Amino acid sequence: MPPDEQSFPSVWTRPHPQRREQPALNREQIVAAALELLDAEGIDALSMRKLGTRLNAGATSMYTHVANKDELIELVVDEVYGEIEAPATNDPEGWRAAITGCAHSMRATLLRHPWIVSVLGEAGLAYLGPNMSRLQEAMLAVFEEGSFTLQAANQATNTLMAYIIGISTSEAAWLTTLARSGRSEQEWADRLWPTALQAVEAYPRLRSLYAVQRAQSLSDARDDDFDIGLECVLNGVVARLAHHAAP
């Protein structure tokens, strides 16, 4: 070690590390900080270096608590799933109200973190996460309360979750471009209007649908569309049950 590299070998110039007075870094706070960063700036802005600086840590300090960026994302995804209100068994308003409430909570959660839909297709074993397991089990229990068999409850859960994930994907895509534009939903739609009209010029049904949509509030329309589709799915799974139960 060359001894005289510092011109001022004083205590004051030396950085005085004093680590270990806080418990240093922690898997939970890493996940929490990643979630904040994702919500604030979107999926492209999540880099290990930015995450490090946000935690007053170096870029590579997270790798002792998390194996990968992919693994980190799996953790964050399950953290988001933890925000979904699981349906309550023995809901006084009945199983269907409980399921409907859970569906609303799930959509709201996914749209509160719209970046999530772009990682759902890669987070392969997401349904093994503790929060996802808990949620699934709760939904199965509620469907059983509605006198579904376990198999039927499973089918219903899968169909319902697929619907919610799918519609949230479309909505999140819209919300993301919206956020990037920096405008309000109506203003952005107005600006997009001529382009959209031109795109569907050759298609009369889409043309008249777009014309109707121009008159209404887009976010209300999205809420209504979700509710209508949800009713359809629930009616469908119930109908299947009745049909199979009483031959």
Partner DNA sequence: ACGGCCCACGCACAGTGTTCGCAAGCCGTA
Partner DNA sequence: TACGGCTTGCGAACACTGTGCGTGGGCCGT
- Report the C-alpha gap between 92 and 54 in whole angstroms: 45
- Report the C-alpha gap between 50 and 59 in whole angstroms: 8
Query: Strand runs (DSSP E) across the chain, as ranges?
Result: none
Binding flag, residue 22, a second copy (CB under 8 A): no
Which residue number, 50 or 96, has a Cβ lying nearer to DNA? Answer: 50
- How many contiguous H segments (helices) and E segments (strands) does the chain have? 10, 0
Q: Identify the residue among 25, 75, 80, 110 touching DNA (CB under 7 A).
A: 25
Q: How far is the CB of 183 from a second copy (least distance, A)?
A: 13
CB-count burial class (<10 Å; 0-12, 13-18, 19+) for 110: buried
Compute the C-alpha angle 85/90/96, nearest 5°.
70
Span between the terminal Cα atoms of the chain, in Å: 87
Residue span binding a second copy (CB under 8 A) among the ranges 21-29, 45-53, 55-63, 133-141 = 133-141
Binding flag, residue 173, a second copy (CB under 8 A): yes
Binding flag, residue 228, a second copy (CB under 8 A): yes
Binding to DNA, residues 50-79 (CB under 7 A): 50, 52, 56-61, 63-65, 68-70
Binding flag, residue 37, DNA (CB under 7 A): no
Which residue number, 55 or 132, has a Cβ lying nearer to a second copy? Answer: 132
Which residue number, 55 or 138, has a Cβ lying nearer to a second copy? Answer: 138
Binding flag, residue 149, a second copy (CB under 8 A): no
- Report the C-alpha gap between 124 and 40 in whole angstroms: 25
Binding site for DNA (CB under 7 A): 1, 17-21, 24-25, 46-50, 52, 56-61, 63-65, 68-70
